Amino acid sequence: MNKKILFTLPLLITLVLFGYFFWALTKPGRDPKILPSVLIDKPAPEFNLVALENLGVPGFSRTDLTSNGKVSVVNIFASWCVPCLAEHPDMVKLGKRDDINLYGINYRDKPEDALKWLNRNGNPYHRVGRDPKSRTGIEWGVYGVPETFIVDASGTIRYKHVGPLNPGDLEDKILPIISSLQAQN
Amino acid sequence: MRGLFLLTAVLFLFTVNSNPVKAFDPDEVLDDPALETRAREISKEVRCLVCQNEPIDSSNADLAKELRIVVRERLVAGDSDEDVKSYLSARYGDFVLFRPPFNTATFLLWFGPLLVLGVGGIGMFFFYRGNKKLKVANPLSPEEEARLNLLLDKDNKTKGSDSGEAS
């Protein structure tokens, strides 16, 4: 009797494995394009970005993430990036708040294109830094645009969102994290 | 006419296939051939994060190009191959390396198959050892043995007479 159970064991193990694979491949929200960031809970990298000329807001460097005791949202955007336009209204909402910093990294873009894009859609960012060769992007582990980071007041990266903020993402993910980080201060 | 067509088709195939994948720009190439060789080797092991299944060495993506330049800059600055790779994996995670490094997270990946083999081997060892014990534990009784011998004997005799008839 015992042996019969033993004989079915390989089949059982295989079925369990198949079940696991099936679950892992079909679970909702699975996107192989989204990679876990290794930078979560690590200090934000050193960088210094020049301003976008004629925009009217300064550029920023790492010290601007820690200088005023506010939580920072760092958004990577570009004028050529279509999904950036989709999440733009969410950025506008974030930009209206004065209890957080909203910083934009203009990624691999021509300054004139970026300026045109921001003038047409409105500039939600408190500061915008240009990253024409994506060097700062590489320091942040950026591999696609848009990406949104939440950095706490001490300059530690606490959250990363890859891709545009979809409807609900701002309310369900971004804002609660900002609130909890503010509560920690 | 048909021959010419075939020839063109074959030549076309060759132009496509014999062209080695060269995504890098000539201006990326380092003057030092030793460093350049190392840069190429590293670039083949680094995943392009935009295209995901292509090394940055053969990718045309902007990010891949920039990463190739970063690799070369690090080498010129005196980094070892390992330094360059850990620089990249510190920013993009182990996923950026095609060959996953050995650490606690990848332990199962490297030793999983060996583990399965070991468990299977141990299972088989005990299974067969148990079988042997079973035989020794329940030997045939003298009556059973006598009966078995009788049956075998009978069988042999029938066979013998069969072959006798045939010859």
ipTM confidence: 0.80
Contact B91 A6 (CB under 8 A): no
Closest approach of chain B CAs to the CA of A96, in angstroms? Answer: 31
Do the Cβ atoms of B62 and A108 come within 8 Å? yes
Q: What is the pLDDT of residue B12?
A: 58
User: What strand order describes the sheet that includes A71-77?
Assistant: A60-61, A48-51, A127-131, A100-107, A71-77, A147-151, A157-162
Hey, are the CB atoms on A140 and B91 less than 8 Å from each other? Answer: yes
Rounded to whole angstroms, how far apart are CA atoms A134 and A124?
A: 21
Contact at CB, B91 and A38, closer than 8 angstroms: yes
Domains of chain A: 36-184 (3.40.30.10)
Name the residue among A126, A83, B79, A59 with its Cα closest to residue B71: B79
- Which domains does chain B show, CATH number per domain? 18-96 (1.10.8.640), 109-166 (no CATH)
Q: Is the pLDDT of residue B22 over 60?
A: no
| pLDDT at residue B17 tops 50 | no
Residues A71-125: pLDDT tens digits? 999 999 999 999 999 999 999 999 999 999 999 999 999 999 999 999 999 999 9
DSSP A43: B
Q: Which helix (H) or strand (E) holds A72?
A: strand A71-77
Q: Quick one: closest CA in A to B48, which residue? A: A143
CA distances from A43 to A39, A121, A155, B45 (A): 8, 32, 6, 27
Q: How many CB atoms lie within 10 A of CB B43?
A: 23
| Whole-number average pLDDT of chain B | 80
Check whether B162 has a pLDDT greater than 60.
Answer: no
- Over the range A102-135, which residues count as b (16 or more CB within 10 Å of their CB) and which as e? bbbbbbbbebeebbebbeeeebbbbbbbbbeebe
Q: Looking at residue B1, what is its pLDDT?
A: 60
Residue pairs spanning A and B at CB distance below 8 A: 40
Chain A residues touching chain B at CB-CB below 8 Å: 6, 32-33, 35-39, 45, 108, 133-135, 137-141, 143-144
Packing angle, helices B62-76 and B33-45, rounded to 10:
130
| Minimum distance, in Å, between the CA of residue A63 and any CA atom of chain B | 20
Chain B: closest CA distance from residue A38 (Å): 5
Q: What mean pLDDT comes out for the span B30-55?
A: 90
Give residue B66's pLDDT.
92
| pLDDT less than 50: residues of chain A | none
CB-CB under 8 Å, B92 with A143: yes
* Beta strands A147-151 and A71-77, pairing class: antiparallel
Nearest CA in chain A to B128: A3
User: In sequence order, which residues have a C-beta less than 8 Å from that of residue B122 and are 6 or more positions away?
Assistant: none
Residue pLDDT, tens place only, B53-103: 899 998 988 899 999 999 999 999 999 999 999 999 999 988 899 988 888
Shortest distance between the Cα of B109 and any Cα of chain A, in A, equals: 15
CA distances from B10 to A108, B1, B2, B73 (A): 41, 14, 12, 42
